[in-house]
């Protein structure tokens, strides 16, 4: 497979990306944290491909990226009130919320009854996600290696493994999102990131 690199500003970038995603292929793109690689969240073949190209352990569920918080209903039941407060406060942004997964999602996505979801604060990513719908997406690297901040960094790791890289310049964050388990009333930080525990606790204390 030859991996194509195209500027995210190119008029053909979005149509090409959507065609690839619709056919079950994979596209890498910049987010507000690092570059991600994504596929159609409802396509089991695309999900399997993400695990394969990243050499990702199957016990690690794949997160979902949305173009808008209103799209959450496609992948998770209506959120509890405290979850809605976190969404309102930190989305779009570098906060992944682990929520109950809808039964309509392919079982390949997660070995658990939950799934991580977020809305990235990056206009290029949002444009793609609003057009494509929810994507199964995670950092565009070989598992265990550093997550790339540039299209070149993606090419060095995943070149020849994925169909397309949308080059949007350097990803501004450089640090993977904070992950919070919201599947029960007691919140748990699963991965520290740009949004600190203190910020989350401040929002929750205003409940």
Does CATH place domain 4-205 in 3.40.50.300? no
Across 111-121, average pLDDT: 96
pLDDT of 59 reads 93
Confidence of residue 207 (pLDDT cuts 50, 70, 90): low
d(CA 51, CA 56): 5
Sheet containing 135-139: give its strands across.
Answer: 4-7, 164-167, 27-30, 35-40, 135-139, 64-65, 114-118, 95-100, 178-181, 188-191
Q: Express each pLDDT in 54-112 by its tens digit.
A: 999 999 999 999 999 999 999 999 999 999 999 999 999 999 999 999 999 999 999 99
pLDDT value, residue 148: 96
- Name the residue with higher pLDDT: 102 or 204: 102
Regarding pTM above 0.85, the answer is: yes
Average pLDDT over every residue of 181-198: 89
How does pLDDT run across 120-175, given as a tens digit for each residue? 999 999 999 999 999 999 999 999 999 999 999 999 999 999 999 999 999 998 78
Asked whether the predicted pLDDT for residue 52 surpasses 90, the reply is yes
Domain chopping of the chain, boundaries: 4-205
Residue 86 is encoded by which pair of tokens?
Answer: 């976190």
């Amino acid at each position: 497979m030859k991996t194509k690199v195209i500027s995210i500003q190119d008029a053909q970038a979005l149509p090409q990306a959507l065609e690839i995603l619709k056919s079950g292929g994979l596209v890498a793109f910049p987010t507000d944290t690092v570059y991600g690689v994504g596929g159609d969240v409802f396509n089991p073949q695309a999900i399997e491909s993400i695990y394969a190209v990243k050499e990702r352990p199957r016990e690690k569920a794949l997160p979902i990226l949305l173009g808008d918080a209103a799209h959450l209903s496609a992948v998770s039941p209506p959120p509890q009130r405290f979850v809605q407060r976190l969404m309102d406060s930190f989305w779009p942004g570098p906060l992944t919320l682990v929520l109950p997964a809808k039964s309509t999602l392919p079982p390949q996505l997660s070995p658990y009854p939950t799934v991580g979801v977020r809305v990235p604060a990056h206009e290029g990513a949002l444009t793609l996600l609003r057009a494509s719908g929810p994507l199964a997406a995670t950092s565009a690297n070989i598992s265990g290696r550093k997550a790339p901040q540039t299209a070149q960094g993606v090419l060095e790791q995943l070149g020849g493994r994925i169909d397309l890289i949308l080059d949007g310049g350097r990803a501004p964050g450089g640090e993977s999102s904070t992950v919070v388990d919201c599947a029960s009333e007691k919140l748990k930080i699963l991965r520290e990131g740009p949004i600190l525990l203190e910020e989350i606790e401040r929002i929750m204390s205003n409940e």
